[in-house]
């Protein structure tokens, strides 16, 4: 994917950088973290850990495939401790539940935030219904 590496490159330019990324995309470019802690840059990586490819829950396949088949092909649950994975790459990491921890600060870190794919899908659906009602006036 290269998303982590791109964020590191931006941070190396001197810009304070925050990346919001899903867990699977994070794992696809995890080696972008190698050597990051020693670079002296301001780079925060916020990882939404919803146990797999949550974005694919928005595709029609979720409705037509059996749940087990969808999980295997699209959900792709990883079952990894993302804090441990980031720490193994030498970057300070923590799982957060307090939104205040997400505030920008100096240095390099990975913040893992738990998510729920079904709850996220339901929220998006409710928002779409509310927006449609507001636009149509009904």
Q: What is the pLDDT along the chain (138 residues), one digit of tens a residue?
A: 799 999 999 999 999 999 999 999 999 999 999 999 999 999 999 999 998 888 888 888 888 899 888 888 888 889 999 999 999 999 999 999 998 888 888 999 999 999 988 888 899 889 999 999 999 987
How much is the pLDDT for 121?
87
Alpha helix stretches (DSSP H) within 20-116: 23-28, 61-64, 67-70, 82-88
How much is the pLDDT for 28?
94
Report d(CA 105, CA 50) in Å as an integer: 25
- Sign for the pseudo-dihedral over CA of 109, 114, 119, 121: positive
Report d(CA 110, CA 96) in Å as an integer: 10
- Among the listed residues 91, 99, 106, the one whose alpha carbon sits nearest the alpha carbon of residue 36: 91
What tens digit of pLDDT does each residue of 83-110 get?
999 999 999 999 999 988 888 889 999 9
Report d(CA 78, CA 32) in Å as an integer: 19
How much is the pLDDT for 112?
97
């Amino acid at each position: 994917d290269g998303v982590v590496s791109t964020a590191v490159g931006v941070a190396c330019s001197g810009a304070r950088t925050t990346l919001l990324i899903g867990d699977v995309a994070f794992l696809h470019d995890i080696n972008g973290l190698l050597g990051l802690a020693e670079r002296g840059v301001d780079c925060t990586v916020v990882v939404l850990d919803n146990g797999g490819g949550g974005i694919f829950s928005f595709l029609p396949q979720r409705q037509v495939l059996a749940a087990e088949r969808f999980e295997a092909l699209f959900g792709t649950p990883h079952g990894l401790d993302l804090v441990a994975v980031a720490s193994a790459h030498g970057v300070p990491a923590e799982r957060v539940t307090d939104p205040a921890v997400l505030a920008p600060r100096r240095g390099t870190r990975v913040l893992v935030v738990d998510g729920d794919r079904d709850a996220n899908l339901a929220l998006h659906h409710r928002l779409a219904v509310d927006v449609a009602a507001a636009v149509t006036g009904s």
